[in-house]
Amino acid sequence: MSEQEQSTGWTGGKNAFGDFAPGMVHYTDKVLFDEVWEREGLSKRDRSLVTVAALTALGKTDQLQFHLAYARRNGVTDQELEEALLQLAFYAGWPHGMGATTVLKQIVENDS
């Protein structure tokens, strides 16, 4: 099977960086999203929850903009995300939970 046949068509890295950082584009699009996110060991829904948890714990609200919305597309409900972020606030720190909840609130309100 050729690389083109194996591709999920993910172009987030290319969209973000164009020709500026070809290594980052390659590893984002071809390795992370074409390989890791497509593995059978976890559903995309579960991978989204794990990713949201990690990004929240690290306080990475810039990346949460994408991954909270992506989690919703992968079947995680807004209520589940709210509960996950509340749980994370106690384990990852209140400011991280508040920051992530603020991002989720903006995403939900923008969809309304």
Q: What per-residue confidence (pLDDT) applies to 11?
A: 86
For 68-84, the pLDDT digits (tens) are 999 999 999 999 999 99
Q: Give pLDDT tens digits for 9-42.
A: 888 899 999 899 999 999 999 999 999 999 999 9
Q: What is the DSSP string of 6-71?
A: H-----HHHHHHTTS-HHHHHIIIIIIITTGGG-SSS-HHHHHHHHHHHHHHHT-HHHHHHHHHHH
Quote the CA–CA distance of 31 and 48 in Å, as a whole number: 16
Flag whether the pTM goes above 0.85. Answer: yes
The residue assigned the tokens 């074409």 is 34
Structural domains of the chain sorted by starting position, each given as residue range(s) with its CATH number in brackets: 10-38 (no CATH), 44-111 (1.20.1290.10)
